[in-house]
Amino acid sequence: MRHPLPVFSRITIGILAVSLPFLAQAAPDFGSAPTIERGVFIRGAMQVLSISAPQRSAYSVPYARVPNALLPYIQKAHERNALGAFGANLYLAQPITRGQALRFVVEVMDKQGSGDVQFRDVRSGSMEESAVQVAIEEGWMDPLSNTYFGLNRLLSAEHAREFLQRVLGEAPSEALQTEQTPAVQVYLRPTRTQESVAIPNASLLNTVWQVIHTDFLYQEQIDEQEATYSALEAIVESLDDPYSRFMRPASARNFQTQIDGQLSGIGAQVEMQGDFLTIVTPLTGSPAEKAGLKPNDRILTVDGQSIVGMDLLEAVEKIRGPKGSQVQLTVERNGSSFTVTVVRDEVRVPEIAISWQGDVAIVKLMQFGRLTDTELRGFMVRVQEQDPSGIVLDLRNNPGGLLHAANIVLSNFVPKGSTVAIIRSRGNEHKDTTEDAPTIHAGVPVVVLVNAGSASASEIVAAALQEYGRARVVGEQTFGKGTVQEVLEFTDGSGIKLTIAEWFTPKGNKIDGSGVNPDTVVRYESDRDVQLLKALELLRY
């Protein structure tokens, strides 16, 4: 069963852009900046390396959210296939690492290395290994120790200038001393006070960190970014709340992709089985399906780089990429391996599926994401135009998602202004209400299908329809998640998902820990869908 997605909505919570000093990007003059943004480094490196950006009235790059000032440089770098270090999404406002900066320069200059290096943080056969070999041969960048190169260390402005100075063999220009791209906004409730809250035992934390930096024997193993993320993870874990967590950049991107329901890649559902990234199923019409990939195929390498034993999110990031680009996969099937080239494309994660059983419409929602939020009402208008005798709203194994998407789903069946849920946070309570007129006529009967995998926003909709007497709920007791999470995004790409409220049904009932009880209990049977059959029976009699 999938984990329940949080119920959250930036729209209903409110939006306020604030600055976080402890996550601030480098100052424009980079005099003592701790980090340098990816976009700033790309532009500055291309300028000091005298790589001319194309002068066009329009640019065409397969990346979203590229500032106009950076478009010429991104266009040129893309034409030179020099952006592979940054994955499918460039995230230009994020700090750049030593490894990303090195690989970018090597690729934009079209340098080749033998790739024969031995460092613990450099994967054999990877593009990074080739770049590291170039750096060592050319004297561009020094390893942090004999066994540790430091690919994942953030690159400061000072070290960026030193790096480019070595590449040029002379002092670099001031191209890096340019204005930063806008920082990613952090979304907070406007009612939140902004007074400073001291970190508990800050002096103890500082003392321990100073001792580590001063006395720890294996200095090369000190990773400041890893220490920061681990500390933040521990702080959030100390809350003992199953739905609150700190998300590293890869996890935050994966979470946002899941909510958005759209990505650029090969279009396959995957999971880790042991050390192997295994295809669960290729999506219908996806590049993966067109390339002949099948369930249970194991992906061994991506563009020649082994992903066996790699973290799931890291492996998925390797496979994703810009629309139209190619990825070469080595696949194991039934004990034998073969290589296949897949052309990436924009892929929509399935979220809404509508089918018919006679004159009964079956509307299945896989999650309450962006597609449900923006497209469901249009689908329901077309369903009503076909004059259905009944509707089955299938929310089984739907883990939830956006609060506003739940509002949209409910609005199709109840009068405008109906209460969706009562939201209670610290010192505050408000009712979330529908803002649109129903698309389905009041005389059309509705059955909602639920099970133990129906959670969060699914339970909001099922409970509301049940209490309004608008639908009969059939199936099994739901998951029982009655809390609301707020999602904050930080400028380094990381984020936090934090429980900020709990929700109650329109009649004020609490379902957290208990779930929604069906009007008609029907247990699932593997040989036939008796729950759907019962729903159809109730609608026809």
In this structure, what token pair is assigned to residue 49? Answer: 């390396």
Residues 234 and 296 in one domain: no
Greater confidence (30 vs 524) lies with: 524
Question: ∠ CA 447-453-458 to the nearest 5 degrees?
Answer: 50
The pLDDT of residue 32: 43
pLDDT of residue 517: 96
In a domain? residue 85? yes
Cα radius of gyration (the chain): 26
Q: What span, in angstroms and rounded, lies between the C-alpha atoms of 22 and 202?
A: 14
Same domain, 210 and 292: no
CA pair distance 84, 81, nearest whole angstrom: 7
Nearest to 286 by CA among 331, 319, 335: 319
The sign one gets for the Cα dihedral 196, 201, 202, 205 is negative
Domain boundary among 299, 328, 348: 348
Instruction: Report residue 174's pLDDT band, with 50, 70 and 90 as the boundaries.
Output: very low
Say yes or no: 74 and 207 in one domain: no
The neighbour count for residue 526, using CB atoms within 10 Å, is 5
Q: In this model, does residue 33 exceed pLDDT 70?
A: no
Q: Are residues 268 and 332 in the same domain?
A: yes
Question: Quick one: which of 174, 184, 181, 178 has its CA closest to 71?
Answer: 181
- The residue-averaged pLDDT of 102-118 equals 86
Over 50: is that where the pLDDT of 175 sits? no
Residue-level pLDDT at 4: 64
Residue 113 forms part of a structural domain: yes
Q: How far is CA 416 from CA 371, 432, 433, 437, 447, in A?
A: 21, 12, 8, 5, 20
DSSP string, 460-526: HHHHHHHHTTS-EEEES------EEEEEEE-TTS-EEEEEEEEEE-TT----TTT-PPPSEE----S
Contact between 391 and 398 (Cβ < 8 Å): no
Whether the Cβ atoms of residue 345 and residue 267 lie closer than 8 Å to each other: yes
- Reply yes or no on whether the pLDDT at 155 is more than 60: yes
Domain ranges, residue 210: 202-244
369 and 498 share one domain: yes
Look up the CATH number of the domain holding residue 405.
3.90.226.10
Is 5 within the bounds of a domain?
no
Q: The domain spanning residue 337 has which CATH number?
A: 2.30.42.10
**Does residue 415 share a domain with residue 376?**
yes
Q: Is 3 part of a structural domain of the chain?
A: no
Among 155, 147, 156, smallest CA distance to 218 is for 147
Tens digit of pLDDT for each residue in 462-513? 999 999 999 999 999 998 999 988 888 787 788 898 999 999 999 999 999 8
Query: Both tokens of residue 99?
Result: 């490894």
Concatenating the DSSP letter of every residue in 89-123 gives S--TTSBPBHHHHHHHHHHHTT---------TTS-
Q: What is the pLDDT of residues 269-303, one digit of tens each?
A: 776 777 898 887 787 788 998 999 988 899 999 99
Q: Are residues 377 and 317 in the same domain?
A: no
512 and 379, same structural domain? yes
Q: What is the pLDDT at residue 390?
A: 97
Instruction: Examine the domain organization and report whether 232 and 291 are in the same domain.
Output: no
Tell me, yes or no, whether 7 lies in a domain.
no
Whether 27 has a pLDDT exceeding 50, the answer reads no
Residues 307 and 364 both lie in one domain:
no
Residue 358 has pLDDT above 70, yes or no: yes
Q: Which residue has the higher pLDDT, 157 or 365?
A: 365
Question: Within a domain: residue 169?
Answer: yes
Answer with the one of 301, 326, 348 that is the final residue of a domain.
348
Q: How far apart are the first and last CA of the chain?
A: 33
Instruction: Output the CA–CA distances (angstroms, integers) from residue 88 to 104, 154, 184, 262, 537, in the order listed.
Output: 15, 20, 18, 12, 47
Q: Which of the two residues, 460 and 455, has the higher pLDDT score?
A: 460
Q: Are residues 101 and 86 in the same domain?
A: yes
Query: Over the stretch 239-256, which tens digit does the pLDDT of each residue have?
Result: 998 889 898 887 777 677
> What's the chain's average pLDDT?
82
Among 421, 299, 283, 439, smallest CA distance to 349 is for: 283
Lowest-pLDDT choice from 59-63, 392-396, 420-424: 59-63
- More confident site: 534 or 320: 534
In this prediction, residues 90-96 reach a mean pLDDT of 80
Is-contact 223 154, C-beta < 8 A?
Answer: no
Residue pair 69/92 in contact (Cβ under 8 Å)? The answer is no
Within 10 angstroms of residue 255's Cβ, the number of other Cβ atoms is 18
pLDDT at residue 258 above 70? no
Q: Is residue 2 part of a domain?
A: no
Quick one: pLDDT at residue 115?
64
Task: Quote the number of domains for the chain.
Answer: 4
Query: pTM here?
Result: 0.56
DSSP string, 387-421: --SEEEEE-TT--EEEHHHHHHHHHTTS-TT-EEE
**Strand runs labelled E in 283-325:** 298-302, 305-306
Closest to 423 (Cα-Cα) out of 368, 487, 482: 482
Backbone phi and psi for residue 290, each to the nearest 5 degrees, phi listed first: -65, -30
Please report which confidence band the pLDDT of residue 313 belongs to, taking 50, 70 and 90 as the band edges: low
The yes-or-no verdict on residue 355 having pLDDT over 50 is: yes
What is the pLDDT, as a whole number, of residue 314?
72
For residue 70, what are its two tokens? 């950076």
What single letter denotes the amino acid at residue 103?
R
What is the predicted pLDDT for the residue at 362? 97
Q: Last residue of some domain: 333, 348, 363? A: 348
Q: Are residues 408 and 432 in the same domain?
A: yes
pLDDT over 60 at 348, yes or no: yes
From residue 317, how far is each of 39, 327, 538 by CA, in Å? 19, 12, 46
Is residue 479 one of the residues assigned to a domain?
yes
**Whole-number Å distance between alpha carbons of 391 and 414:** 14
Taking Cα atoms as reference points, which of 295, 317, 393 lies closest to residue 352? 393
